[in-house]
Structure 1
Amino acid sequence: MWLENLQRTFLDWDAMAEILPIMLSTGLKNTLILAAASTVIGIIIGIILAVMGISRAAWLRVPARLYTDIFRGLPAIVTILLIGQGFAGLGRELFGPSPYPLGILALSLIAGAYIGEIFRAGIQSVPTGQMEACRALSMSYSQGMRLIVVPQGIRRVLPALVNQFISNVKDSSLIYFLGLLASEREIFRVGQDAAVVTGNLSPLLLAGIFYLVITVPLTHLVNHIDHRLRSGKRTTGAQPSSGLDEVDELGAATRNAEQTRFNGGSLSIRDLRLSYGPLEVLRGIDLEIPKGSVTCIVGPSGSGKSTLLRSLNRLVEMNGGQVMLDGTDIRGMKPETLRARVGMVFQHFNLFPDHTARENIMLSLTRIKGLPRAEARAIADARL
């Protein structure tokens, strides 16, 4: 007897079959629209919050922190009701009688707070040397963030973003509190209305199945993406069995690209001094480097070789002395102008891992010097 009651309550196939077309055409469509739109808008809000959150300026950092604390601290249903009912009059003027757009806005504001934290963590996980490499290539802060840091951060947090989309799919069921029109009902509201009409919970069970069909594959996709990002790309083909084999292969390689000519510059250093607070790192450095020459600076670790090179590119500012590049004092140049003329390779290289070796070389040629891609590619091939 109880089994029959259970079947009538949850497994009424006729009730499920009757509601299935509406669940597909109306409920599923609106759920995906709500989740996708709120995720896209939330990503835009999140990127802005992340950049503000890592800023050194307190007037940017503090508002971002307050926004995040408020919308992460409030229950989703409270935010939805505050936005949907509090701005109902404005919503009618802008969007008509439907609360649908306000529901998307509420979900977006909630998602933006979480996505902002996701992006902030992703950006801060990018090594600081990446931004320093951007500065060495004469990129501005905004260029470095847009071209290098943010793309790397997004790749690192892609699984978390998919998880946030899954949360938006489930949170979309709360929009029914705003009183959606019949054509705007999402999966839960379609199932609930049918459950009230039929007197059993089979339509709600069908709604739950729809949510599982959406979220479970995405969950496994997140796990797969996370595994791929952690394990890295697997190389295929034969690999050199030792370093000596690799050297032999490089020696036997033929160079197809034509060599490009560059005009070097002369460098004159007089009494260069540099200190970090009370600690004097460099003192009385004098050096003459003629045009077109190659100079090796040799010394033990910690003797200041890298610091000297960084001061020549103004990645760190000297405290005294004079550095002349082709007869021009570098302190009279804008740092970006100087760095566009002076190339630097870091001790740890700080190459951009999301770019190929060729793209690493082409980046400054195309983005900073404005060379055509074909010319930049030819120069890169000649340098490799």
Structure 2
Amino acid sequence: MSSSDDNEDLAYEYDFTSLKGTKYQELEQKFSTKINDSFIRLPTLANSAISKIKEIEKKNDENRIRFKDKGDRATVELVLDRRTRIVLFKLINSEKISEIFGCVSAGKEANVYYAINTSQQEFAIKIYKTSILVFKDRHRYVEGEFRFRHGYARHNPRQMVAMWAEKEMRNLKRLQVAGIPCPEPLFVKQNVLLMSFIGRDAKAAPRLKEVGFGGRVEEFYRQTVDLMRDMYHKCKLVHADFSEYNLLYFEDRVYVIDVSQSVEHDHPQALYFLRRDCSNINDFYKKNGAAVLTVQGIFNYITDITESSDEIRWEKAKSTEEISDAVFKEIYIPRTLQELQETGQDESIFGKLTGVSKKPQTNEEDQSLSESDENPNTEDQDKKKHGDILYEGLSKQERKAKVKEDKREKRKSKIPKHVKKQKMKKTKH
């Protein structure tokens, strides 16, 4: 049998789809012991054999039908599939981290793992789920947002999750710039996000739900509401899932986490998400014995742009008792001044949001208003059209002739259209 026949037998003896090249083999052999979990092992071959197989595969690539195996998509803990492990191996190879340990938190959209580097610095690795997507209503937080105006790969789960990870990276950077306590984002690749670790000695900071506040419950209530206001005004973001499960307590401060679903304040649903966040925080602190404000009071405190002092704004929020919480949670929120006028809502409810405040009327203004009410035709008499003044005293035919003559004279001094375009181009440059 010739050597070419041997090559053909060798080509059909191995499953080429399961071998992704020497790069993956080298990374796995070198760093697989650094990830402390049970991974699916791959058969190892000599480098010469792998090179030979790759040559044959390249020659027959156009004529061969590829078959995918379930092993390519197999995951550990719903997140650690083949592609994710390659990203983790590259993180270790680039010395960003040196070792990965167990899972410290598991949620509906991602798992968080504890990792360290060679200098024992602590990190958190957030790996988003790609196999079974429990969080299925992502489109509510993406549709209508300017950052995703070109689409977000709704029908491709892996691309959608990668975009979701990148969105959280950007949102965390905004929070970092604004000085809001949160994990520091360091690196993102596909569905893997590397962040600083909130905690100490491999022990993660507790969620706000697990903290006993004692007599300081109102202090932390105010601190939490201030975080929401800072996110809205400094970062132009609404968290959209602001609750005791997405807040950490560490070193006497409240930290914000899980901002992947956060939306910009001009998102179509942003104000509805903000109202829901206010309700969640009120319900939590009310259970812990805090003297909470009304939901409308917190909403006005966060969105108010008329007052410069936080203390004045807080005192005004305390005295907000226009409507009950049950009604405010269901009321329609206008987004523009036109909608506010069309719906006929009282400006006292959403006046702080629009920035429109009613000025107190003086005695002179009250007197002028009363006079205008008594004589409603005076304003109409004073306001005459420009044409009525210009052609006053002319008959209908004379008026038409005068209008035509004026237009004819105006056309004589009119700039030609092509000249006007040239001048506009010159001014632009």
TM range (shorter): under 0.3
Q: Which has the larger radius of gyration?
A: 2
Tell me which protein shows more helix as a share of its residues: 1
Q: TM-score, with normalisation over the residues of structure 2?
A: 0.22
Q: TM-score, with normalisation over the residues of structure 1?
A: 0.24
